[in-house]
Amino acid sequence: MSGTPIVLASNSPRRREILTQGGYEFTVDAADVDENLGIIDPAKLVEALSLKKAMAVADKYPDKTVIGADTVVAIDGDILGKPIDESDAQNMLRELSGRTHQVVTGVTVVLPTVDGGRGHETFHEITDVTFYELSDEEIDTYVSTGEPLDKAGAYGIQGRGALLVERISGDYLNVVGLPLARLSRILKK
Amino acid sequence: MSGTPIVLASNSPRRREILTQGGYEFTVDAADVDENLGIIDPAKLVEALSLKKAMAVADKYPDKTVIGADTVVAIDGDILGKPIDESDAQNMLRELSGRTHQVVTGVTVVLPTVDGGRGHETFHEITDVTFYELSDEEIDTYVSTGEPLDKAGAYGIQGRGALLVERISGDYLNVVGLPLARLSRILKK
């Protein structure tokens, strides 16, 4: 793909795979940022975090496009991050069982502008995910794979977690961690 | 995973990847079958083809579980198979542009029964897929990647084709070629 070189401000291997799937070449440079912003609205939270992540490295790359992103799982007004241990993962999966939750990803794209300055665009994308009713045995089996432990909401739809999902409504890659199709439409500008 | 050994009666690399994602071990043995059944209803067609594919190899594996599958794209009562050339692929993508179509996968599972005989279960799964409005340039760029040529409906959602898709409603892996979550519920019995 042509255009300005891209820097992905995220260490997530899943986001790297998604950008690669889209045919993009890019480098990775992610700064640690404090994720406790005290924002309780999921969409506002992930937008603010994506902006913070992008801005944390943007100054180092004045001529490049920088992409920041953050993903959370939301249900009943609660935000589920990554579980702290297996018992926490089991509790999250019990909460998601048999119901529909939202996966919300915020994305910020920092772009050089035609006048030599910089602009940025921030958006969020929401996908509804409906889980099958899960038995305790299914939850235990899944948690024992270790897959849930580093994932928001304690599941990975691109892995064994696909077995838990009855249907989604929205963008699939948004659930994995980056809404590629919508992002590509911004990068094209 | 425990249970009867599994034979996948399909040469599709994507179906192999999906079964592997689900944690299944299996072997592959696919027979060529005549796919011209004269059935115009998409759901009936893919169910019949999945049964035909499974039965074509089932006799060779009396003690195993055999899985057959077939996927088509349906829009306006038309069934889109694999494009015959680049121009056919462009026409299919123009037909899908800006609209919602259905991806229909039929699956047959042939299982040994408790009385030493064999039974089978056949089902189909439908996922709605909505495309962005595509410019001729986007279509040409995508077709030039070569990805559309071996895919029903001329796109692969698991590849660069994800850039064309605004949203889906239903099972994602069903669009790739095998509704893993529902299949796993049958294999568990």
What digits encode the pLDDT tens for the residues A35-87?
A: 888 899 999 999 999 999 999 999 999 999 999 999 999 998 899 989 999 99
Q: How far apart are CA B54 and CA B7, in angstroms?
A: 9
- Asked if pLDDT for residue A177 goes beyond 90, the answer is yes
pLDDT of residue A114: 79
Report phi then psi at B149, rounded to 5: -65, -30
pLDDT of residue A31: 86
pLDDT of residue B1: 45
Residue of B nearest to A188 (CA): B138
User: Does residue A1 lie in a domain region?
Assistant: no
User: Does residue A53 lie in a domain region?
Assistant: yes
pLDDT of residue B166: 98
In sequence order, the 6+-apart residues with CB closer than 8 A to the CB of B136 are none
User: Does residue B20 lie in a domain region?
Assistant: yes
> Is there a contact between A22 and B163 if contact means CB atoms under 8 Å apart?
yes
- B76 neighbors B57 (Cβ within 8 angstroms): no
Is residue B39 packed enough to be buried (19+ CB in 10 Å), middle (13-18) or exposed (0-12)?
middle
SS3 state at B7: strand
Distances (CA, A) of B6 to B3, B14, B62: 9, 17, 11
The CB density around residue B186, as the number of other CB atoms within 10 Å, is 14
Q: How far apart are CA B41 and CA B79, in angstroms?
A: 8
> Is there a contact between B181 and A163 if contact means CB atoms under 8 Å apart?
yes
Average pLDDT of chain A?
95
The DSSP H or E segment spanning B172 is helix B172-176
Interface contact B159, partner A, CB < 8 A: yes
User: Does residue B26 lie in a domain region?
Assistant: yes
Look up the domain containing B35 and give its range.
6-188
pLDDT of residue B182: 98
- Segment A125-156, tens digit of pLDDT: 999 999 999 999 999 999 999 999 999 999 99
Tokens of A142: 């899944």
Instruction: State which residues of chain B have pLDDT below 70.
Output: 1-2
pLDDT greater at residue A62 or residue A167 = A167
Total number of domains in chain B: 1
Which CATH number characterizes residue A126's domain?
3.90.950.10
Q: How far apart are CA B2 and CA A179, in angstroms?
A: 36
In sequence order, the 6+-apart residues with CB closer than 8 A to the CB of A138 are A164
User: Does residue B165 lie in a domain region?
Assistant: yes
The DSSP H or E segment spanning B127 is strand B118-131
Partners of B170 on chain A (C-beta within 8 Å) are: 167-168
Q: Within a 13 Å sphere around the CA of B124, how many CA atoms are in the beta-carbon half?
A: 22
Tokens of A131: 């889980």
Instruction: Kindly name the residue from B70, B78, B88, B136 that is annotated as catalytic.
Output: B70
Task: Check if B171 is active-site.
Answer: no
> Is there a contact between B160 and A21 if contact means CB atoms under 8 Å apart?
yes
User: Does residue B1 lie in a domain region?
Assistant: no
User: Does residue B63 lie in a domain region?
Assistant: yes
Tokens of A25: 């070449």
- Segment B74-127, tens digit of pLDDT: 998 899 989 999 999 999 999 999 999 999 999 999 998 878 788 999 999 999
Report phi then psi at A84, rounded to 5: -85, -25
- Asked if pLDDT for residue A1 goes beyond 80, the answer is no
pLDDT of residue A153: 96
Alpha carbon of B7: minimum distance to chain A alpha carbons (Å): 19
Angle between helices A86-96 and A136-144 in degrees, nearest 10: 140
Instruction: Give the residue from B127, B167, B183, B187 with the most A CB atoms within 10 Å of its CB, the best one to mutate.
Output: B167
Instruction: Give the residue from A126, A155, A172 with the most B CB atoms within 10 Å of its CB, the best one to mutate.
Output: A172
> Is there a contact between B163 and A173 if contact means CB atoms under 8 Å apart?
no
User: Does residue A182 lie in a domain region?
Assistant: yes
Interface contact B160, partner A, CB < 8 A: yes
pLDDT of residue A21: 97
> Is there a contact between B172 and A172 if contact means CB atoms under 8 Å apart?
yes
Interface contact A123, partner B, CB < 8 A: no
Partners of B181 on chain A (C-beta within 8 Å) are: 132, 162-166
User: B67-94 burial string, b = 16+ CB within 10 Å, else e?
Assistant: bbbbbbbbbeeebbebbeeeebbbebbe
> Is there a contact between A162 and B181 if contact means CB atoms under 8 Å apart?
yes
Q: How far apart are CA A81 and CA A70, in angstroms?
A: 11
Residue of A nearest to B134 (CA): A185
Partners of A167 on chain B (C-beta within 8 Å) are: 169-171
pLDDT band at A113 (very low <50, low <70, confident <90, very high): confident
Interface contact A186, partner B, CB < 8 A: no
